[in-house]
Amino acid sequence: MALRYRDFRLLTAGLSAAITGWWMIIIAQGWLVLEMTDSAAWVATASAALSLPFLVLGPFSGVVADRWYRKTLLVTTRMTIATVMLVEGLLIIAGLIELWQILLLGTLAGCAFAMDIPARQSLMRDVVPEEAVPNAVAIGVSVTSLASVAGPIAGAAMLALVGAGGCFVANALGNLVLALAILAMHIPRRTPTGDWDIFGDLANGFRFVANSNVVSLLLLMALVTMIGTSAWRELAPVFVRDVFGSNEAGLGALHTAAGIGAVLAAGLLLWSATQEHRRVLYVMAAAISVLSVLGFVTSSVIQFGIVFALINGFARQLTDAVGQTVLLLKTPEQFRGRVMSLWALLWGMQPMGTFTAGMASEVVGPRIAVGGLALVAGVFLLGVGLAKRSAWREF
């Protein structure tokens, strides 16, 4: 249904290129930093540099997305990301890269991502009518999932053949493709009501979330899931080398398995989009996301780790996609950018879990660090779900 609309097709094509490039640098950066420092803590810190700007800019980026013309904003952010990735790639290829440069350039790219995500996620309602939103999100998830499979495979191959620099250059090209796709789209201009008041607009957004049971439930559940079940991905190089005794191919296999799980989740979403199914799928997936991490950290060989990575990719994709669908449907246009900025802010919270697990790994090892974090998340998820039982009726 959603693919009938030209602008949605352009957005989908651009995102597939950009997300494939994103997974390439996830593969490349983790391995590069581990080789440079031999430290799980620095691997986690470099990963955090890409996400921490969301903590500062995330809420304000939603206000900007609701006030500024989203097309101009998105072209600017994606061109900025492309430039930063190209510079980092060339530094790596030239053999001039240092750890401080990785952290600085990662932070700059993270700032652009922080301004990009609320506007881009809000764009879904600009390019398809309301009745096509669930289908559009499911298709978007399918494309993201396929890219998350292709990206690690391509990233591992490029890492082995031409090194990390080639992965960063490929990411720059992917972001350029997305910028050009958005430039070609017909995105409506909307005139915001009232005067520009960034702090007042931000406060109004928070009030809307506080007064919406289902929106506040989704954001709380997503926050706990993000912090508690994502650390294994960023610390995968540590598990691959030090726990499973594997190499770059093993690292690519783990991320590819997670991507395959996400593809399976996307297929399930395309089949089922009713309110009742969404509620059941979300609860099931949140539980499985925790259990799969516990399975991963207790695996004795990489083959078992790959199986649990696939299961985790399946569960995490379900929770993310169902949550995004409900937020888009339950949030009025005037608040959409701000709500989606809070959704994006969760990516800024992810390094809290990754950094904690990375530091703890230096003391107790990665198994206990990552597994303990997931176990705590499971307890919190149960508590949040029970405390906000009434919100499930609105899901």
Residue given tokens 């890409």 in the structure block: 50
Specify the amino acid at residue 311.
I
Domain that includes residue 131, residue range: 2-188+198-394
Q: Give mean pLDDT, residues 67-75.
A: 84
Other beta carbons less than 10 A from residue 88's beta carbon: 28
DSSP SS3 for 97: coil
Asked, for residue 193, whether it belongs to a domain, the answer is no
Dist. CA 166–CA 164, nearest whole Å: 5
**DSSP 8-state symbol, 190:** -
Could you tell me the CATH number of the domain that includes residue 245? 1.20.1250.20
- Label residue 276 by pLDDT band (50, 70, 90): low
**120 pLDDT band (50/70/90 cuts)?**
confident
The overall pTM is greater than 0.85? no
CA within 13 Å, CB half, 167: 28
Burial of 85 (0-12, 13-18, 19+ CB in 10 A): buried
pLDDT digits (tens, 9 = 90+) for 335-377: 877 787 777 777 667 767 777 777 787 788 888 888 888 898 8
- Is the distance from CB of 276 to CB of 322 less than 8 angstroms? no
What integer pLDDT is reported at residue 84 of this predicted model?
93
Asked whether 40 and 358 are in contact (CB, 8 A), the reply is yes
Taking the CA of residue 96 as centre, how many other CA atoms within 13 Å lie in the half-sphere pointing to its CB? 6
pLDDT at 105: 92
Question: What is the tens place of the pLDDT at every residue in 143-174?
Answer: 776 776 677 777 778 788 878 888 899 889 98
At residue 288 the predicted structure's pLDDT band, cuts being 50, 70 and 90, is very high
pLDDT greater at residue 266 or residue 243: 243
pLDDT of residue 193 exceeding 60: no
Q: What is the per-residue pLDDT for 156?
A: 77
Structure tokens at 309: 């990575």
pLDDT attached to residue 235: 81
Residue 284 in domain: yes
**pLDDT attached to residue 80:** 94
- Asked if the structure places residue 128 within a domain, the reply is yes
pLDDT bin (cut points 50, 70, 90) of residue 190 is low
In a domain, 377, yes or no: yes
- Rounded Cα distance between 66 and 62, Å, is 6
Confidence at 319, pLDDT banded by 50, 70, 90: confident
Output the pLDDT for position 181.
Answer: 92
Q: What is the pLDDT confidence band of residue 390, given thresholds at 50, 70 and 90?
A: confident
Q: For residue range 34-54, what is the model confidence (pLDDT) as tens digits?
A: 888 888 778 878 877 877 787
3-state secondary structure 288-329: HHHHHHHHHHCCCCHHHHHHHHHHHHHHHHHHHHHHHHHHHH
Q: Which pair of structure tokens corresponds to residue 96?
A: 């001039």
Our count of domains for the chain comes to: 1
> Which range has the worst mean pLDDT, 131-140, 242-251, 309-318?
131-140
In a domain, 386, yes or no: yes
